[in-house]
Amino acid sequence: MVDVVDLGEFSGFQENPHPVYAQLRERGPVHRVRMPAPAQEQVAWLVVGHEEARAALADPRLAKDGNKLGITFLDEEQIGKYLLVTDPPQHTRLRKLVSRAFTMRRVEALRPRIQQITDELLDAMLPSGRADLVEAFSFPLPITVICELLGVPELDRAEFRKLSTESVAPTSFDSQEAATARLAEYLGELIEDKRCTGSGDDLLGDLIRTTSEDGDRLSAGELRGMAYLLLLAGHETTVNLITSGVHALLTHPDQLAGLRSDMSLLDSAVEEMLRYEGPVENGTFRFAAEALEIGGVRIEQGEEVMVGLTAGNRDPARHCDPDRFDIRRDPRGHLAFGHGLHFCLGAPLARAEARIALRSLLERAPDLALDGTPGPWLPGMLIRGMRALPVRW
């Protein structure tokens, strides 16, 4: 009989799960856990060791497509198939089609526009002397970039923020179901409008038009799923990367001073932010397509496995003194963007936005400081981030 660790019983787990993950790692790299609210009835295996997590992320025996085992998730039912719920060869096909439109060249071409949006947001924010950084800066930047990239109308963005956050960090199952259903409806209407009018010199328009050498194209459901993934992953992660990164700097004044004195450290600082408090706490569920062992623990066919990206990034076996925020460390090998076939397609865009945002903010607000207690941390175990970060300058 395997002991089940009830994560909801640990006081303060949502705000600071790192001590709990450290306790689990000391006992072993893999544990049977019960989720905290709002998914407290769900039990799964959790991988907390870095080496084991990296191996699990690349193990083909851990499937992402639950349909193979008779499991279908809510968003998949309402939205359609997308990269995070598929395995090869379907995943290979979808990623190839998306990669034809979402290229590195496209990301590089966005840099001047990212800088322009950043400057406009700071122009509006800085005269007030204080603000909620999430509301004024770290949310509107990535949501504007990804909406412009995909071709989502400006007037729809306020509603989209509310729906997307509820979809990935739900306060209840019912609210998640309602938000995901509305997102599916909205994206379906947007795609149909672009398809009918032939409009859209944007990524979504390109995805509608793109074909592979053999004439393969994305179906309506696949387009909807791809738009859903790109919109949510394209802004939720970057919002929290910028917010948590600024919070880490402001709570470690020696590191902030070091970065201000040498901005050539910016790239390594962003990587350390990703390692220290990355925006994705755990990978989405995987399913044992066959019985296997991870870290000496037997996992039976059909059982659910969650790979701890945050836990793995604080493993002392991989990173020396892992609870120390150090912008000069070599954080290579961190798992913030995953590993293997499902490595984040949008990692270059997230890095570009974070680097531009942080450099501009620090240069234009030289006495930036915390202005109160950060807002509550998002619920659930997928997205790691806070709802508000009050700052002054």
Q: Give residue limits of the domains in the chain.
A: 4-392
Q: Which residues of the chain have pLDDT under 70?
A: 1, 39-40, 72-75, 155-156, 198-200, 211-215
Beta strands in 29-82 (DSSP E): 30-34, 43-47, 62-63
pLDDT for the residue 214: 62
pLDDT for the residue 161: 76
pLDDT for the residue 170: 79
Provide the 8-state DSSP code for 358.
H
Q: Are 282 and 240 in contact (CB under 8 A)?
A: no
Rounded to whole angstroms, the Cα distance separating 235 from 69 reads: 31
Pairing of strands 30-34, 130-132: unpaired
Rounded to whole angstroms, the Cα distance separating 49 from 25 reads: 6
- Taking every pair of Cα atoms in the chain, the longest distance, rounded to a whole number of angstroms, is 61
pTM of the model: 0.92
CATH architecture of structural domain 4-392: Orthogonal Bundle (1.10)
pLDDT for the residue 151: 84
pLDDT for the residue 313: 98
pLDDT for the residue 200: 63
Tokens of 164: 């997307």
